[in-house]
Amino acid sequence: MSDESTLEDLAASAEVVVFHSTVTDLGGLDELLEASGRDWRAIEMGMGSAENRERFAGLKALTGSATLPQVFIEGRFVGGLREAIARIDTPQSHPVAANWMGYLGLLPFAATAAGPWLGLAWTLEWLLAYGAVILSFIGAIHWGLAMGQHNPAPASFHASVIPALAGWIALGLPTLIALPLLAAGFIAWRFWEFRYATVTMPRWFRRLRTVLTLGAVAGLLGGWLAILPSTGTA
């Protein structure tokens, strides 16, 4: 249990992993983590067993620290309580900013999808272009996440370019086909994230991605439904 690969797997088993002893005072770190909504786990390392003593020796070799608790965030060692609390407490404005920008990003979907229902059929081209841009953007997020990992899987880089390719293909297709294709692309990419990228995405971001995906799909399908009657009577 104390070999480096196993400890690294444990350290990456949640967004935040806290290795601590049975007598460790977490100093409010547990309450802070619960309040932050992060995915976290505590791994107790009681020194009463030979197995845990061996595991602790491996942890010291891995991090260079001889004390507990030791905290890992997204698989990377950040230090003890003070360092962990500073890392967790200060970035809380980031989710707020991301939420605001994400929700504001749904406005062009809503506005351009409403256009055909108001007799402004030209807005469908804008809807298609915007959908392709945003689909490409959410793929690029995972390129950035992979670059920030200690040992990223090549598949993360390979997969992250697929949304851009799907958006590019959609731009060359008739609008009647391209809009549902983009909607399917958003759904498929969120499924990929759920299946393969959950560990690298903070919990708040996973929730935000689900909401934004639903909003984007609703906009794309709303615009598509507006042109179905005209194609049926042509």
Whether residue 67 is contained in a domain is answered as yes
| 184-218 tens-digit pLDDT | 999 999 999 988 887 677 777 888 999 999 999 99
Judgement on whether residues 220 and 165 belong to the same structural domain of the protein: yes
Judgement on whether residues 215 and 120 belong to the same structural domain of the protein: yes
Q: What pLDDT, on a 0 to 100 scale, did the predictor assign at position 122?
A: 94
* Section 168-190 average pLDDT: 97
**Other CB atoms within 10 Å distance of the CB of residue 130:** 21
Judgement on whether residues 120 and 168 belong to the same structural domain of the protein: yes
Judgement on whether residues 82 and 114 belong to the same structural domain of the protein: no
Which of 36, 35, 40, 2 lies closest to 18, judged by CA? 40
Give, in degrees to the nearest 5, the angle at Cα 195 between 189 and 200. 90
| 26-75 tens-digit pLDDT | 888 888 887 776 788 999 887 778 888 888 888 998 889 888 999 998 88
Long-range pairs of 172-175 with CB within 8 A, sequence gap ≥ 24: 175/124, 175/125, 175/128, 175/224, 175/227
Please provide residue 45's backbone torsions phi and psi, each rounded to the nearest 5 degrees.
Answer: -125, 70
Judgement on whether residues 47 and 80 belong to the same structural domain of the protein: yes
pLDDT mean across residues, the chain = 87
Judgement on whether residues 82 and 186 belong to the same structural domain of the protein: no
Distance CA 73, CA 138 (A): 22
The total number of structural domains that make up the chain: 2
Judgement on whether residues 84 and 156 belong to the same structural domain of the protein: no
* Section 102-117 average pLDDT: 96
Judgement on whether residues 115 and 203 belong to the same structural domain of the protein: yes
Judgement on whether residues 173 and 228 belong to the same structural domain of the protein: yes
Stated pTM of the model: 0.63
Whether residue 68 is contained in a domain is answered as yes
The range of the structural domain enclosing residue 28 comes to 4-90
